[in-house]
Amino acid sequence: MNTATAGPLQLANIRVIDLSRMAPGGFCTMMLGDLGADVIRVEEPGGGRIGRARMGRSDEPDEREERRRAAFTALNRNKRSIILNLKAPQARDVLTRLCEDADVFVEGFRPGVVERLGCDYETLSALNPRLVYCSISGYGQDGPYKSLVGHDINYISTGGALGMIGSEGGPPTIPYNLVADYAGGAMQAAIGILSALMARNYTGRGQHVDISMSDGVAYMLVASLSEYFNTGAVPQRGLMSLNGGVPYYNVFECKDGKYLSLGCIEPWFWDALCRAIGREEFIDQQFEPDKYPEIFDAFRKIFKTRTRDEWWDYLRGSGDVAVGRVFSVDELADDPQLRHRGMVQEVGEIDGVTVRQVGIGPKLSETPGSVRRLGPHMGEHTDEILAELGYAAAEIASARETGAFG
């Protein structure tokens, strides 16, 4: 287990019940756990349909490897795990009892599913009026799309982001699942939950936080939508100032096949760049689109003359040049700035192997977050949590034989 210490945690008295199954809910509750919340992850026997499908494509799982995988899974850190078969009445009773004194409930199903499970907002809020209930879904709890299935790629399509990303004349470029799942879903959910907890301090009541990932994507297009509503201008792939249409905000391949990013939007940054690479004639052409083909051609040739790291070392010592190295994940993990900022941490060990994980983004001076426990293997805390609820050992064993508990 992790031995890291921290000051008093701001969410130390908050209990979160996590009934989500995918990354948006998992990242949201990871953030709450990092900030001190007691997160109880309610899991399905065998990992549910996704877990069973994965197991069906592999050999019998190795218990040691499963524990190692769990320990390295940062999305589940600072959480306890209980397995409940919610098809069984006794398991549903346990979930209800968990929610009686909980502060937050997070679910990530399509609208209608939680009603069938008996853990919808109306049911649980009647039981516990102080409960902050957060639903994370692709399109929200109402509207014509509410029942559609989907994933990040679909939500960034509907939310307008995917159509803006890519090169001129080419297809949209899929930006991994960061935009909808993690930013439009998980982070919006965490903000909504924390806001509802603050409101509860004044009203004494919880509320329903309805998170639509496609809403979250559209929300983040605030600048583009503002411009469109004002002028009617529709962003085009690879033609806008922030999506590849200009030389001063772009990426260029270097001698070693690696890439360098330039963000020289301000004229003084652009001036410093042009002087550093010996092309002062471009200084007054920064905002002249008819000159961009010439500048692009020159830049592509110039940056091919040195490796990425050679350019990085040279340009960052050449005054105010906004430049960055395009990292792969292995390079990111060893970057001195990120390591200095604690964004790569050694958080414990499993079977003698040091566990490294991503650190905590928000840096709070008085109540910093911390990694207090590694991700549990499925059902690791079932007996512990049931005992906290008052179940006797014999009762737990009996219910486990019926398949209610994992």
Non-local (6+) Cβ contacts of 267 within 8 A are 286
Half-sphere exposure of 183 (CA within 13 A, CB side): 15
Closest to 73 (Cα-Cα) out of 91, 36, 47, 103:
47
Burial (0-12, 13-18, 19+ Cβ within 10 Å), 138: buried
Cα–Cα dist 332/343, whole Å: 10
| 3-class DSSP string for 303-341 | HCCCCHHHHHHHHCCCCCCCEEECCCHHHHHCCHHHHHC
Of the residues 93, 151, 320, 383, only one is catalytic, namely: 151
Of the residues 38, 152, 181, 215, only one is catalytic, namely: 181
Q: How many Cβ atoms from other residues are within 10 Å of residue 336's Cβ?
A: 7
Quote the tokens at residue 374.
């590694």
Cα–Cα dist 184/195, whole Å: 16
Cα–Cα dist 164/173, whole Å: 9
Beta bridge partners of 82: 42
Active site (annotated) includes residue 151: yes
Active site (annotated) includes residue 181: yes
Q: Which amino acid is at 327?
A: F
Closest to 78 (Cα-Cα) out of 333, 389, 388, 348:
348
Annotated catalytic residues are 151, 181
